[in-house]
């Protein structure tokens, strides 16, 4: 008969924990750093139904527009070129005439994809996705928007009770006012 020693399992647990600790502490040695140049030099365009394109940015945005036009064979409008910024993902769609248009995503997918959050189309539940916005403040934002119409800019946010200049300036880069 083989007696079972309770200490034998503890030795294996200790070895497994030590191995896991070594893996965690040494993981940075094997990680490939993300090249900052990629973020600085490229913009990503998500075109509905066709795919995701990495567009190199040049000092002249028209050059990027020509490249995009050669990719899709479509004319690129100046307001789309104005949105091209390093590291940013821009959602586009094709209209009935085959021209590229900014896509109007609903707030939840925009939030999950890291795209600008459309504050004028968000309901109270969706507004609470934003950092610093709870259910009560989301209700005040929706009520303000109902009374005064859609938000046009960051300054208009500060008119909502509970949103000061600091919170408005923190939220502004995350929002779209279309």
Give per-residue pLDDT as tens, 108-158: 877 777 778 889 989 999 999 998 999 999 999 999 999 999 998 888 999
CATH superfamily of 107-176: Photosystem II 12 kDa extrinsic protein (1.10.150.320)
Q: How confident is the model at residue 166 (pLDDT cuts 50, 70, 90)?
A: very high
- pLDDT number for residue 134: 94
pLDDT of 105 higher than 50: yes
Domain boundaries, the chain: 37-102, 107-176
pLDDT of 36 higher than 60: no
Question: Using CA atoms, how far apart are residues 168 and 105, in angstroms rounded to an integer?
Answer: 22
Average pLDDT over residues 52-79: 61
61 SS3 class: helix
CA distances to 11, 21, 54, 56, 164 from 75, in Å: 68, 54, 17, 17, 41
| CA geometry: angle 61, 66, 69, nearest 5 deg | 125
pTM, whole model, 2 decimals? 0.51
Question: Can you read off the two tokens belonging to residue 21?
Answer: 């600790």
Q: How confident is the model at residue 38 (pLDDT cuts 50, 70, 90)?
A: very low
């Amino acid at each position: 008969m083989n007696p079972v020693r309770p200490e034998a399992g503890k030795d294996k647990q200790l070895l497994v924990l030590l191995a896991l600790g070594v893996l965690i502490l040494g993981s940075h040695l094997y990680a490939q750093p993300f090249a900052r140049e990629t973020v600085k030099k490229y913009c990503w365009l998500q075109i509905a139904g066709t795919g995701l394109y990495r567009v190199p940015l040049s000092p002249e945005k028209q050059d990027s527009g020509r490249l995009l036009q050669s990719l899709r064979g479509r004319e690129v409008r100046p307001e789309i070129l104005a949105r091209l910024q390093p590291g940013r993902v821009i959602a586009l769609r094709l209209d009935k005439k085959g021209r590229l248009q900014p896509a109007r995503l609903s707030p939840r997918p925009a939030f999950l994809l890291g795209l600008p959050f459309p504050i004028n189309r968000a309901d109270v539940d969706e507004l609470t996705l934003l950092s610093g916005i709870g259910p009560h403040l989301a209700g005040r934002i929706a009520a303000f928007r109902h009374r005064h119409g859609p938000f046009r800019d960051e300054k208009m946010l500060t008119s909502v009770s509970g949103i000061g200049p600091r919170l408005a300036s923190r939220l502004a880069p995350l929002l779209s006012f279309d």
